[in-house]
Amino acid sequence: MAFKGNITNVDQNSLAAQFKVGVDFDNLYIRAANNQGISYNEFTSFEQYNKPLNIINNPVINPLLKGTTQAPKVIILHSKRKSPLVLGEINIIGKGAELIIISESGIQCKSCEINNSSRIVLTTGRPIFDDGQLTSFVVNKGSIDINSVQNGRGLKEGLITNGASIIDLIADDIRINGEINTQLSATKTPQGKLTVDDSGTLSIATGNLQLIAGHNTFDFINGGIAINPTNSSRQLSGEITISAPIYTGGLYIESTGNNSSVNVSEAIVTTADLTLASIYKSYTILPSDIITITFLEAKGGNSKLGSKMYKGRLVQQGSKDYTESIIKDMNKWYEKAKDSTKNPEEMAEFKKTLDYLKQYEDNFKYKVVKQKLDDNGALKHIEVINYEH
């Protein structure tokens, strides 16, 4: 990693984060935590260049943490640069922690791999604090792009989270062009025990992934979402595009904004050979094994029914055509997988999907949940499609 310019002090009475550039990897020495257990690190210029970044969260080897009673529980990296923040491999060295990466100018994940974090948040929202406690993010701009990069073995995944319980992507727009995988792989030993192994042939469902797009305020503590009133002249906002596979334990998608939309053209898989429960803040987290898509549209501060383009025309949320369009988007990857059987060269790419189809295809169904409106016609809550098996 390299920083173009100096790292600025967030608090004049506290030491700023420090970095050390290495040959094979770079180290980031984070600041000590506040009374809420949060290490807040703000940068005027922050860029990662084709090397792993190690975040040092160990008082023994991080001089900024010496004398502290405990390592930070939450690590915030806040980039204030005017161009999108580019990320790659990130490792928390020492005690695991929640990792929150903020860039209001946008975030580009280029084969991100994040290790030793129970909760991962990538957001373009402005953070809000109350007495040192992070309470929410206010999103009014910025996109998150998940992309794959080429290495000696081919394309790497766009985002790997290696055992995180909760993964939140929160931005105005979200584009998934590289595979996201929150699941793990395992191998069975000769003694019949299971061990986590990157080269294992068994898949482990873990991690609940959220994609939240549009102008909204995301409550970091309880996960609530409030739509922000907007006078934006943008024709479209709250766009989510999924053009690469997602393998996760559960997926929640919410799109808000002017003509908000979700476009899915690749596999979304929430099942695996095994399921792994994890612990987050003393709570046991189980993968939900469900895909939920929610559409809202912000108009004058109220949440109204949204719309999207379908068959060359704008269709209203709640209509038969609107629901049909979502179901067709979600089914495209099934058809693509089936068609691959006609081409042996493509079968390898879809082997996991084809095996999955054979096992579960007859059990899949879509459930439409009725929309709830208040007396003024504003949308209180809607789950357009609850995709489950």
Length of the chain: 389
Model confidence pLDDT, tens digit, residues 192-248: 888 888 889 999 989 999 999 998 899 998 888 888 765 554 556 789 999 999 999
Residue 355 or 43, more confident: 43
Q: Does 16 have pLDDT greater than 90?
A: no
User: The sheet that has 184-188: what strands, in order across it?
Assistant: 194-196, 184-188, 202-205, 274-275
Query: What are the tokens at 230?
Result: 């907007």
The pLDDT tens digits of the residues spanning 301-334 come to 333 444 555 665 555 555 667 666 666 655 665 5
pTM (two decimals): 0.74
Judging by DSSP bridges, how do beta strands 166-171 and 119-123 pair with one another? parallel
The string of pLDDT tens digits covering residues 86-138 is: 999 999 999 999 999 999 999 999 999 999 999 999 999 999 999 999 999 99
pLDDT of 191:
87
* b/e sequence 350-374, b meaning 16+ C-beta within 10 Å: bebbbebbeeeeeeeeeeeeeeebe
CA distance 91 to 117: 8
Please tell me the predicted confidence (pLDDT) of residue 305: 45
